[in-house]
Structure 1
């Protein structure tokens, strides 16, 4: 093996998210070494190991594999064009000019990541905060700024976020990520206050009951149907569904115990009586050990795989309406409201901290709208 081993890393795009696929000739030693790298997972859909992508990930992988004396082919990242996740930038040169992190900064961002993980932030939040912090540090390198001041932060916000036409949500993530980095490094910046812009108030997409039934009927794979069914029937976030354990399902009481959900809160939600036969069939067939939905190596089923499942089912059902896995949660809440369930109970089932969050479903429910007499009908 030794220097003859070749590792090829290539971009892997899924749902406009850029990942890093890791390819190699079958070898158990190589496989175990890859699995030992932080944040590496297996995708059954693409039959490859992969990890999340950020600006320093390629350098990290290169150094990691070179420790073994292996060849690393990363040519695909030299020519690949980034898929835009936001509107076209007004000043793309700002991003293009950002220099790489120095070794000390790379080490700091890795320590920052571990610090965030110990605070039990979600995986997505950790990756986002680390990425935006790395961009901020690279911006400081570009401007040759040694001491962080409120002025440098405001300038980064203006050049990299405002002028680049980044979304309001992304701007808020940047502010949060940088502030957490300051806490991690015990950095105090006087008069640092960037106002968080209000998010656009968009109504959620909702599938009708007919569309939901069609979605399930067109899903033939037992695991896929069970996953989509439990997400909808219990109003789960996808992260809650893929981390669900067998012991969390109380068949006798007809409840599902959701543990350490968003905000590290526990809650109970509904276990549909109509879902129980499907669950028993699924458990008997797949015999899951701990997690309800296990991947190839007994790890949690990945969100990437779950999104691919929904995409295929929507296509098979002929549903052209834009929908995500979270759309099933929105649909669950809306259908409960339309059937007369009190908004306070829906809030508890969804695990919302504030009733204001749940009230958005009153704007997409058709029950009250059907009772309104349209003036056109009286013309």
Structure 2
């Protein structure tokens, strides 16, 4: 059977990751194994690390092999603690530790101190490129490797010579104002409506919306305070009178305590996946077939601001971009200037 199997640590459990060819018959057979699961984050099937499964997938038995494996697990846990003390966000800690885990367990039989720069290059070619993974994931691996190996005294890796992939020059996805209006008016549920309206009307990231507290809404100055956002910086964004009216209607019904948008139980944060489903349901109701994500609402907000004549410097501040070059990308998707260009086809 054509497969590749490696030991991994997933959700604080020892697991065996198995890469199969995309053949329905093989996948169907794997699903029948006890506790076989698909990881959407790792993009791999995995199952419990047992002697039976190790033998099934031709992996070394536990005897004599547990120490290096457990050492790497221990080091990854120490790496998580190191990132936490450096005040990286929980999402960043998880992203980097997962990327490091993928890299270290790719060389499962090799001691960490013996991994060198050529191993990094081989990982790029034989794992990332072979599996057609994104340059964004590769960049996460680079960040994780650099941060991790700077903390190790004895290492064969020269961190300064680890190169980054060229960034994909992708344009942000933008919806028209008509499409935005349909999406925001799709829900009759005031809570669902208010969440989507807040993301668009203030250009918020998903995590920023979910971390808002009732006191972050300054109705007297028509501002929303976004605390400890990306880069651990506070910022403010303008709050339109229209969204303030929606929030007041929502507040009368739900009366949130700790968080502006609470989960199923009081004092709990609204679930990220549930928020994604709110958007998905809105798209189904409107019949919009585009693969819209919550971040499209933020992109659309920035582009619509630019098209209405708002200065790029203000848009940069509102969105919380560290560099003006990040904000300038919206000039490439704004249609205001392009609509004034007359095609020579019209003169034929």
Give the TM-score category using the shorter length.
0.7 to 0.9
Cα distance in structure 1, aligned partners of 2:101 and 2:35: 20
Q: CA deviation at 1:135?
A: 1.9
1:269 and 1:349 in contact (8 A); partners too: yes
- Correspondence 1:362 to 2:315: no
Q: CA deviation at 1:229?
A: 0.4
2:263 and 2:271 in contact (8 A); partners too: yes
1:140 and 1:146 in contact (8 A); partners too: no
Which one of the candidate residues 264, 289, 293 is aligned to 2:261? 293
Mean CA deviation greater in 293-302 or 360-369: 293-302
1:98 and 1:142 in contact (8 A); partners too: no
Q: CA deviation at 1:163?
A: 3.2
Cα distance in structure 1, aligned partners of 2:174 and 2:227: 26
- Could you tell me which residue of structure 1 aligns to residue 283 of structure 2? 314
Q: 1:85 to 1:102 in 2, by over 3 A?
A: closer
1:98 and 1:139 in contact (8 A); partners too: no
Please, what TM-score do these two structures have when normalized by structure 1? 0.74
- Correspondence 1:149 to 2:116: yes
- Could you tell me which residue of structure 2 aligns to residue 243 of structure 1? 211
Q: List per-residue Cα deviations over 1:188-223 (Å, max 9, x = no partner).
A: 545441221211111111111111111121112111
Q: CA deviation at 1:350?
A: 0.6
Q: List per-residue Cα deviations over 1:272-300 (Å, max 9, x = no partner).
A: 11011111111121111121011124221
RCO higher in structure (CA 8 A, sep ≥6): 1
Mean CA deviation greater in 258-267 or 229-238: 258-267
User: What is the RMSD of the two structures over their aligned residues, measured on CA atoms?
Assistant: 2.8
Cα distance in structure 1, aligned partners of 2:283 and 2:166: 32
Name the count of aligned residue pairs: 307
Mean CA deviation greater in 147-156 or 175-184: 147-156
Q: CA deviation at 1:76?
A: 6.7
Unaligned runs of 5+ in 2: 1-6, 16-30, 44-56, 61-65
Q: CA deviation at 1:336?
A: 0.8
- Correspondence 1:230 to 2:198: yes
Please, what TM-score do these two structures have when normalized by structure 2? 0.80
Cα distance in structure 1, aligned partners of 2:296 and 2:14: 35
1:258 and 1:268 in contact (8 A); partners too: yes
Q: CA deviation at 1:186?
A: 4.3
